[in-house]
Structure 1
């Protein structure tokens, strides 16, 4: 093979890899980093509630209990994330210096554990209230969906 063809092919391959890498790094679609905005959270919450309501054919009382559960989960999530505008910045700060900040890491762990200990009983009670309000057929549907690894109403 002639040297100019080899060089051209190598250059084309290198440019293709570089452009592909830049395109992959530049996309910020579904996997956008950082916490969801309030608008995005409300949109996702609405879709999840609508999907669960339609799949289980919930009545008004059951839907109200589902909304209470969603409120509790959302409050727990907000408390877990905390007041930080960028939760990942806290983690990056642990390794920002030459030595790992063990004291800060333990402090973060204590803070997150405390939030879970305080808010989890409310979430569990709301989940139990919702599940107990379902009729046996609806409960069986929930168990079936969870047994088939679809999560709580994944696609499919």
Structure 2
């Protein structure tokens, strides 16, 4: 019987993992978050709640923003995975439009949850280049941040969508 493998394409690079309990193999119980951080050294996705509730570990899997702490690596066979590290241009290092907008609009503070928010915003804008405020709020509902005003996040996302920010009255004045 041959060794079972799991193949992922991570940030455009094909990765093949031997699955099992032997030394050097990926256990079937290992999460995608653990594989990304511990085996590939991709630390943009943060380990926080381990329950899929906070959004800090968000990556893009086959076009969808997903909590990597809730996915087993073995269940991701054949998937296209993009992490925060995969958003910048690999040759020039130029940041993605979303990453640059977060810097331009100061849409971060401590930075712990920012990668997950950026990944969620990127997946949203890839699917819907001009989302409404309600669609942005809905997409970000699984990302929690205690440090920053959400206004700056909405402003950054709106700038990438090519329009100004139009917030309802309850958000006005919270900048």
Q: Give the shorter-chain TM-score range.
A: under 0.3
More strand by share: 2
Higher RCO (CA < 8 A, seq sep 6+): 1
Q: TM-score, normalised by structure 2?
A: 0.23
Higher Cα radius of gyration:
1
